[in-house]
Structure 1
Amino acid sequence: MKRTPRDRLKDLTDFTSSAGFTPSLDQLWRDISSNDDSIDHSKTLENLLVAQNVLRPLKSNVVSSEEDVEAANALYAWLARISLPAAEFADSLEAAYSDNKEKSRPLTETLRNSQVRLSLGVAVLGYLNNAFPLDGADNAVDVVTSLASFTSERDPWTTAETRQIALSVLESCLCSRDGALGRSLWPVLEDVLKSRIKPLFAKTKNPAITAAGRKNFHPPPRPRFDMAAMDPETKPWKFGDVYATTVLEWILSRYLVEAHFPLLVPAILALIDDESLPFKVRGCSLLSMFLTPLKEGHSDILQRTNLSSVFEDALVPCFLSIPTITPEDESLQLLGAAYPALLSVLRIRYQNASSEQVKEQKTAKTNRDIYIRHVANILRTNVIPSFHHISSTTVAEDSLIASFPFPRLSTFLLEQINTLLPELGIHTTKYLQEIIPPVCTALANPFGPAHPPLLLAAVATARCVILNAHPRIWRWRGELLGALCDCWSHVIDEEDQFVEQAKKP
């Protein structure tokens, strides 16, 4: 006669009542292993429910015997295996990280069932950590990998409760009892990178870097049509082990710069170079996270590894993802991550240099001059051309009237101009003939009041131009004053229309 979960729980309770005050992990594991069937979903759920009810009432650090220690390690190995997201979530993962609402789709019944199993597995891991702390487990690498897979709430397999449990267990392992940062888990994180993450991204070849994570000064030429880039087998992190990017993101939030640098660079570049926009966005966001401790620690590792140009070459193609080929929502999402990432790369590369390095360079090639040249190049070859590309100009009554079919993206690009101008400073004067036209076009647009953020961004940019280039701005006073007056007039007309409509019964 087949035993139900209730019968199994009753047997375990009777055993523990006769054996002592606390349940036996050894008995629990023997019961689970005798009923384990990785193919049968219902059997796995049954085992998880039994483990949850047995482990929930346990107090902390109750494991003492060798049998229970072995059982705890076996339970950790079992839970780490069944709590790892699988390839079935690959399609829904890309949609989950896209801002394009047309790609969003509800989870299928199969995926919802898998989500329930994964959530229950993480909950049981939390209870097991109370009884036998994770930092003492033999297979901590596998368990940390599984838990770190649930640290992003945007993942389709993660719920808010599951994420909270996973982060709580991971933080308890990273922090010792006295509140100081625990060092015992740092080797585990390095092992996770080396044994679990690096092999997944190693199949995505990038000739721009060496195996040591440095710039390859003699890269082999890429074929014109590289069909390997479309092969799913070269991207197991995308189509198979879908948890890899989330684990990488969690590790990036606490990595050691010098020790983990070569392990992180190939994975980040693989994400940025991917053809899927949601993965490009994650790659750009991870690059910004990756650069934060370099900036805070004034590290010169980008100079020593010559990787700044590699990151720049990877990021620049992202700026071509603009309408009409790319939807506005996805374009905003990608450009909003790519522009800050590139600016961070340039700042760290040319502003973190030591005084000795600056003295060794020629006067005309100082880091400041090179930095300004790169920023100006972004402004002139990416931001301003993109603004003109997404704006349409029509002829009406012998005048050119620019319209903005993508007002949110136009607003974003004006904000990027406003971000880059303070970096240029007085050098803004060199590029007034390129900066003034888009600003005046936005200000003078008769339909500007329909999207106020566009006008606000244009006014802020005009103010920044005036402050930066005041010695030469007088030459453009006619264009600027005319555009500002047009803007004022259009806003007043819009207000009058609102007042008239309000007076109507």
Structure 2
Amino acid sequence: MPIIEELSDSNDDNSSSQPPPHHVTSEQQASAALDKALHIVRDEAKPIEARYHEILLQLTPLEIYFPSAPPRTVPAFEERILTLLRPHPALVPSIASIDDDDAKETSPALSLYHTLSVKLLRLLKPHTLTPTVDFALTVSSLTNPDDAFTSTEASTIAISLLNSNNPSRYPHDIVITGILKDTIKPLFTHRTVSATRITPAGRLAIRDTTANADLIVDNLPWSTTLPSVMAVLEWVISTGLTDADLETAWPLLIPPILSINDSHVIKLRTRGIGMITMLLKRLEMAKNDLLRRTGLGGVLWEAVERGLGYFPPLTAVKDCVAINRKATECLRLMARVREPEETERRAALLDRIVREGFVKGMVYAGEKLELVEVLVNGLNSVIEDMGVWAVRHLQAVLPLLSEILGNPFGTTYLPLLHKTLQAEQTAICTCWPRLSEHVPELLHGISACWAQILEDEQVPRMNQTKKQDLDALKTELRKTAAMVEAVMIALEKSEGNEASARWHEIKRSVIEVDPGFEGLFEGA
């Protein structure tokens, strides 16, 4: 339990010389201040910002009282502090405005609540005994700074308070019963498409009941009753649960996670995908085959894969970037958890990320370089995961990478070119036995990029930093060319002299186009 220390009384030597006529102990003063603050926060007649402003004035003396209080536990203080800490629903933007940055409802009370939450969290002391449901639920509400009502400072303090307890000190009756069953489960009674495909026991439903799904859910109970529910779920999954409780918690976790993930609000769906990733990491670390035994691998995969389908102009670029990155990470992990041994079946799952994520994404990404960079990063990771099975995608993927490298304005954003070369190098390393037929496409991309660098270097009085950046890119281009040559020479063993001879012919034809390309093959 957090220890809220009782305040010192009139025995203090510095204050006992002139006691007031009707002496009130410092504990009584603190208690009265908290009671007044609770009365203020419940006064619905006043605007929320006015209430928090008054509360801050009421609590100022507590910062003086509490540090000097004797080390005795006062549970009543903790209960009232936790009540004040709970984020008020008025602090949270409506569901309809979460994705609209231009129209986002920002409560003027947020900055006041940020200050108040930090002050109140600092009054709580690390627990030495088993904490209460109220403590775990309220403090975990403030662990994610992505929530509008949680500041970075408050998040740091809240995590520290929760981590001061060994996870084994959060017993079954707190996390499973108190938080998941009694608090969160009643808030997710609506049946989304994914939620209708599972049984109350958290297993795959035999009968298809998706026709009974609530397709449009605008008034979500948790958004007003417990607006911090996502932060609480994230804490429960990542820290609050022990490995032994994973199976018991499974049917209580999956429905709310899928309901959040099925939201039409992209930012909520992104958080939902993040929760699935956390849960999969726990299963992988514990070597738990719960995903296979419950038959929910396909349901979770489809729920997350939909996150790869958001592109401009219908979706803001930063939202596309966030959900694509999260979805790709989650699907890669899910492929490992679903098929830990069978590499071919795992590669078949990863095929879908390449097709639905990278190839389709490049059609819509256009000149949105931040999104293109995320797509290329994801492709690089997936190729590495697939190994030699990625060879079946080279015909579709390499021309898209060459297009990035050959963009006339590509050198204005060098990080993307570096990431693209890294993806090509990964493809060369993993798919080299079948690379011979793709060498012309590889050289097309790197030579086009090299030509653009040579053109940029003709600019008089080039910035020294820019010159160094271009030199670093040229080094990566040479490295890629050298890797291609090494592969062609290695293939000579199986193809006679044909592969090596073909490489020299290709290299000579490139240099004949422009002598400047000779520098591309230095060391190759």
- Shorter-normalised TM range: 0.7 to 0.9
Deviation, 1:227, is: 6.4
| 1:314 aligned residue (290, 296, 303) | 303
Deviation, 1:85, is: 0.5
For residues 50-449 of structure 1, the aligned pairs below 5 Å read 51-60=62-71, 62-63=72-73, 72-91=74-93, 102=102, 107-124=106-123, 126=124, 129=125, 133=127, 135=129, 140-172=132-164, 174-175=165-166, 182-183=168-169, 185=171, 187-190=173-176, 191-203=178-190, 205=192, 206-222=195-211, 229-232=216-219, 235-254=220-239, 255-256=241-242, 257-351=246-340, 367-391=342-366, 405-449=367-411
Q: Distance between the aligned counterparts of 2:344 and 2:54, measured in 1?
A: 66
Deviation, 1:75, is: 2.7
Change (3 A) 1:160 1:424: closer
Question: Structure 2 counterpart of 1:463, which letter?
Answer: Q
Offset from partner CA, 1:277-334 (integer Å, 9 cap, x none)? 1111111222212211211121111101111111111012111111111121111011
For residues 486-505 of structure 1, the aligned pairs below 5 Å read 486-497=448-459, 499=461
TM-score normalised by length of structure 2: 0.74
Change (3 A) 1:152 1:32: closer
Deviation, 1:119, is: 3.7
Q: Distance between the aligned counterparts of 2:393 and 2:200, measured in 1?
A: 41
Change (3 A) 1:36 1:458: closer
Q: Distance between the aligned counterparts of 1:310 and 1:319, measured in 2?
A: 15
Change (3 A) 1:458 1:46: closer
Q: Distance between the aligned counterparts of 2:28 and 2:55, measured in 1?
A: 18
Change (3 A) 1:92 1:157: farther
Question: Structure 2 counterpart of 1:385, which letter?
Answer: K
Among the aligned pairs, what percent are the same residue? 22
Question: Structure 1 counterpart of 2:91, which letter?
Answer: F
Change (3 A) 1:57 1:485: same
Deviation, 1:101, is: 6.4
Aligned with 1:496: secondary structure?
coil
Structure 1, gaps ≥5 residues long: 1-10, 64-71, 176-180, 354-366, 392-404
CA RMSD of aligned residues (A): 3.3
Offset from partner CA, 1:331-372 (integer Å, 9 cap, x none)? 101111111011111110110x6xxxxxxxxxxxxx332211
Alpha-carbon contact 1:141-1:188 (below 8 Å) kept: yes
Alpha-carbon contact 2:317-2:371 (below 8 Å) kept: yes
Deviation, 1:431, is: 2.7
When structure 1 is superposed on structure 2, of 113-122 and 451-460 the one drifting more is 113-122
Alpha-carbon contact 2:9-2:26 (below 8 Å) kept: no
Deviation, 1:236, is: 2.1
Q: Distance between the aligned counterparts of 1:370 and 1:202, measured in 2?
A: 36
Alpha-carbon contact 2:410-2:417 (below 8 Å) kept: yes
Aligned with 2:336: secondary structure?
helix
Aligned with 2:375: secondary structure?
helix
Change (3 A) 1:491 1:240: farther
Alpha-carbon contact 1:380-1:434 (below 8 Å) kept: no
Alpha-carbon contact 1:150-1:158 (below 8 Å) kept: yes
Off by >6 Å, runs of 4+ in structure 1:
15-18, 92-96
Q: Distance between the aligned counterparts of 2:376 and 2:38, measured in 1?
A: 59
Structure 2, gaps ≥5 residues long: 1-6, 465-524
For residues 39-58 of structure 1, the aligned pairs below 5 Å read 39=43, 41=51, 44-45=55-56, 48-49=59-60, 51-58=62-69
